[in-house]
Structure 1
């Protein structure tokens, strides 16, 4: 263990590098809240939007401070922030539709031009034209 300190990435704090100290810290409410806040960044915007629409605005948060942070049963998003979240969800939805069109006809994508023939997708029209009896060994 040596005299080195342990740094918690979620809480941005140093502590004694001891197993019991780290366990006690990781089980604490402040660490749990900090970890939840960090992990919320990586949730899908669609999920966040549906959850936040169902909640009513938090009077404490908009009044200045809410001690519950992400555990609050009220929303901490303003109307403007919810509108921006809606735009983000719509933009992701249109991007995913564009990507699905490319998946429907994979041999027409521009990505396959640089690939060798063995790695390119099979074109059904060319497959019908192939004479297998005469072209094999």
Structure 2
């Protein structure tokens, strides 16, 4: 079996189980026998099954991704802040999309658009020195996305 393409359905087919049984076994559902859970988990581990995070995001309408916009990456302050953000987001099982505005207003606006298109659940932003209008940040607030 191709390890890169293993899915709940392919596990179900290989073990002659229904996809819902496999899904419930992976989630430790009490209605699934210990024997079936062990069989499914052993197979999943052997073939290095990884959940399809895109499918999970679509189903739950949640993506656990935070956007970060900084004006400079070479500055010690921002590189330290980014390292801290990465460390904390890993604890909460969040991902980061990082945008660098390079102290340019137009790039900052484009970064906001990119993060909104990516459907992030929150944005941490440090505005550039050239930011004169804040309408792009208002769009984040209007979209009910957390903005810090």
Q: Smaller-chain TM-score range?
A: under 0.3
Which structure's residues are more often strand, by fraction?
2
Larger Rg: 1
TM-score by length of 1: 0.27
Greater RCO structure (CA 8 Å; 6+ sep): 2
Normalising by structure 2, we get a TM-score of 0.25
